[in-house]
Structure 1
Amino acid sequence: MDSCIKELHFSYLHIPVTINNKFLVHPSSPTPANQSPNHSLYLSNLDDIIGARVFTPSVYFYRSSGNQLENRESLVMKRLRDALGEVLVPYYPLSGRLREVENGKLEVFFGEELGALMVSAKSSMGLADLGDLTVPNPAWLPLIYQDPEEEAYKILDMPLLIAQVTFFTCGGFSLGIRLCHCICDGFGAMQFLASWAATTKTGQLIADPEPVWDREVFKPRNPPMVKYPHYEYLPIEERSNLTNSLWETKPLQKCYRISKEFQCLVKSIAQGQDSSLVCSSFEAMAAHIWRSWVKALDVKPLEYNLRLTFSVNVRTKLETLKLKKGFYGNVVCLACAMSTVDSVMNDSLSKTTRLVQEARVRVTEDYLRSTLDYVEVKRPKKLEFGGKLMITQWTRFEMYETADFGWGKPVYAGPIDLRPTPQVCVLLPQGGVESGGDQSMVVCLCLPPSAVHNFTRFLSLNDYT
């Protein structure tokens, strides 16, 4: 089993970074925002939900493509900046800012001094000094710009796109991006980044598909009709030891490379235990990770209700609501599976997998409409972590294919640090220039030091075989 699942390790290091320059990038030609001093844009309740009121950070590493380092930094910055200015014409909402209007609802507004923020930085290290560039490392945080005075979770009056380019002594560089989740979901972000990359690479604007705003298609019903309980947003009192285990200790970020063969094995175990179960690899792996995590943390009491949440892309499930090609807003709903600690730890993998599958199947267009109405009525103000593990699936995104800005595919593309939200598990594609089409995935999550050994053992199926 060792060849199918491998614990990955990253270097604990300090990366010295010097900020050279900060500047705003504006659309290179007039946009609808220039036609009216009071121009604003509607955000749907999927854009405006509490879980979207964050910046999603990611980093992309690029090796040096030649020996000519002279003027490379100014050339890279100019090409990225010019291309961003071009792309911000069709994607002009990213040059705006967010503000709250009636009832705390968000909207995008514009003004003369707005734009996306770009940062030029330099490090005295080379890419080779950073260790394994295929494993997300919290030490990379200096490669993503955050103002020292910035409040946690601040999104109002902030640039909606913040991009830091950090140059290393070897001629390689990183592109650290913070993108406001209110403007787009993962698929929308990939659409925007693909446009920016293609425009940088070719020197001419490429926006295919043409971006579409159209957030009004997701307006709530009048009157609202909340038809489902939406446990994913309900507060649940934390009566277990989860909070103490994860938040009050110093959790470690751990990553595991899971081969395609191992994913198929987990799926076959789940389906072998129940001949009527036909599931996806994701459903089986999500159940297996949840079970391994709960067992490793030794969650108590056994009768406490746990929740597993994960995002479901509803684009393919829309029947009456029609989205134009190029729509880049949030079209995801949270699915929620619930079970007691005892059941998660002791039920068969097939039974837990079925819970995950049923949660996913419940997310339909009707469920999306109910979510829109629920937010309209309740407008949740804080994220609920009680008894919850949240799985975020980045394996569906073509992060490597879309991020060739003219300097080749990135060595790594993805998140950095999960520790600020230690109840999040991220599934990443095994990508990059060295992957060779490897269909493995990387599972990243946070664990207290005392739980690492047991989690690794359970994840490796050592309690099934």
Structure 2
Amino acid sequence: MDSCIQELHFSHLHIPVTINNKFLVHPSSPTPANHSPHHSLYLSNLDDIIGARVFTPSVYFYRSTTDPSNNRDSLVLKRLQDALGQVLVPYYPLSGRLREVENGKLEVFFGEEQGALMVSANSSMALADLGDLTVPNPAWLPLIFQHPGEEAYKILEMPLLIAQVTFFTCGGFSLGIRLCHCICDGFGAMQFLGSWAATAKIGKLIADPEPVWDREAFRPRNPPMVKYPHHEYLPMEERSNLTNSLWETKPLQKCYRISKEFQCQVKSIAQGQDSSLVCSSFDAMAAHIWRSWVKALDVKPIEYDLRLTFPVNLRTKLETLKLRKGFYGNVVSLACAMSTVDSLMNDSFAKTTRLVQEARVRVTEDYLRSMVDYVEVKRPKRLEFEGKLMITQWTRFEMYETADFGWGKPVYAGPIDLRPTPQVCVLLPQGGVDYGGGQSMLVCLCLPPSAVHKFTRLLTLNDCT
């Protein structure tokens, strides 16, 4: 394998976890929700689009603390709990619940059973028993709390933040978080997490920037004006073997460490084939992953239309709407590149990269407004997977820098298991105390066992033409 690409392997193991306690954490002082028995909050169509109606799970591992006392676990838990109670004052919407109102629209409400859920647990294993802590491992699922028998995609009347602290015999611990995507996107989640961590580390409330709700800024126009086709949300007839090959087999989660040099090399190949192409490293890498994935899966028929989607952060692209600093809601829209199987496999790599680049550039404030209006008119009810690969980019999130609660940066920060949504590829930053940071990234995705060898070979640029 190319020296700039390293296939990463994780341990297949069972982690015994015992839940010790579950309790709700409430804001430590009164909030606007306390002032009215019928207080509710508006969510924009960016917040309650079908793709945001999920919990985003992530886990953070920390080495042994310096405190060797027998009550170390309770001290760690108390610091996290106290800080969360303080942070939930300015971030009080996270203590609420979701409900549907007219036409299936969501809103945040506040009832008797409000508050974030914290879970205390312990394991009879040590962190060293978990194997490589730099690559996401589906075996870590017990470190993320789920209610017994919990329905998939259930978000209504659920705690919007669920945090499980699991203590290991070595003195280390993990913080497993499930955060409702309706409340914040990735950048908003990092803002909240950074406030929680800083508050825990210093011992007093740190909310800089001050959180801003302002979801009304993205209300639909009256009347709605849908100006673009929004192929990212359109249902498509499944006439290919793509979905079945991933959902009817037991896909394997595979991860590759990609060096910065390799990313630059892929970009250079695309621009070398087309001197007029102005693209980013992401454009080229996304095109390369997409082509390699489709070729490895041997998608048929060749005239079938495929879609590559990826979220685009609009915070810096808003021209007429100026969001206040501290806005932590969803400000993303999906870009969508389209190609037939035949074109994707046989056209030049530069042409595929241009498709990605044009899709990314197409997502403007005007496109975002159109998408908000599209949701208002159509209100999609299901996730569309037909012919689609979605690439989600976590490399710009400062997950390691923001997650120091007073015990140093985490050894690992990120997702766990991609297999429930096997048509998603996640790009992760390479960081943590073991690796020491750097500009490499992890490419994590799911593949049928029969496609792994071919995808790995294609990823190493053996067929990037």
How would you bin the TM-score normalised by the shorter chain? over 0.9
The 2-side partners of 1:65 and 1:117 are apart by 24
More divergent stretch after superposition (434-443 vs 355-364):
434-443
Q: Any idea what SS the aligned residue of 2:300 has?
A: coil
Shift in Å, 1:346:
1.2
Report the counterpart of residue 347 of structure 1 in structure 2.
347
1:64-123 residue CA offsets vs partner (Å, 9 max, x unmatched): 032614211000000000000000000000000000000000000002331000000000
**Secondary structure of 1:405's partner?**
coil
- Three-state SS of the structure 2 residue aligned to 1:460 is helix
Match of 2:284 in 1: 284
Inter-partner Cα distance in structure 2 for 1:151 and 1:324: 36
SS of corresponding position for 2:57: strand
The match for 2:233 is: 233
Q: Residues 225-259 of structure 1, C-alpha deviation per residue, up to 9 Å, x if partnerless?
A: 00000000000111000012100011000000000
Q: Structure 1: how far apart are the matches of 2:113 and 2:17? A: 27
Aligned to 2:444: 444
Aligned to 1:20: 20
Could you tell me which residue of structure 2 aligns to residue 156 of structure 1?
156
Q: How many residues align?
A: 465
Query: What's the CA shift for 1:407?
Result: 0.3
Query: How does the TM-score come out when normalised to structure 1?
Result: 0.99
Q: Deviations over 1:418-452 (max 9, x none)?
A: 00000000000001012223110000000000000
Q: Deviations over 1:339-358 (max 9, x none)?
A: 00011111111100000000
CA distance 1:464–1:335, shift in 2 (3 Å): closer
CA deviation vs aligned residue, 1:206-234 (integer Å, no higher than 9, x gap):
00000000000000000000000000000
Matched ranges for 1:2-401 at <5 A: 2-66=2-66, 68-401=68-401
State how far apart, in whole Å, the 2-side matches of 1:306 and 1:451 are. 18
Q: CA RMSD in A?
A: 0.8
Q: Which has the higher mean CA deviation after the structures are superposed, 377-386 or 428-437?
A: 428-437
Preserved contact between residue 20 and residue 121 of structure 1 (Cα < 8 Å): yes
Which aligned runs of 4 or more in structure 1 are off by greater than 4 angstroms? none
Please, which runs of 5 or more residues in structure 2 have no aligned partner?
none
1:319, 1:187 → 2: CA distance?
19
Equivalent position SS for 2:312 = strand
The alignment partner of 1:401 has SS state of helix
Contact 2:349 / 2:464 at 8 angstroms: preserved in 1? Answer: no
Residue 277 of structure 2 aligns to a residue in which SS?
Answer: coil
The amino acid of 1:378's aligned partner reads: K
Partner SS for 1:380: coil
Aligned-pair distance for 1:389?
A: 0.1
Q: Counterpart of 1:438 in structure 2: which amino acid?
A: G
CA distance in structure 2 between the partners assigned to 1:251 and 1:181 by the alignment? 25
Q: Deviations over 1:44-74 (max 9, x none)?
A: 0000100000000000000003261421100
* Runs of 5+ unmatched residues, structure 1: none
Q: Separation in 2 of the partners of 1:396 and 1:345?
A: 30
Percent of matched pairs sharing the same residue? 89
Letter in 1 for 2:327: F
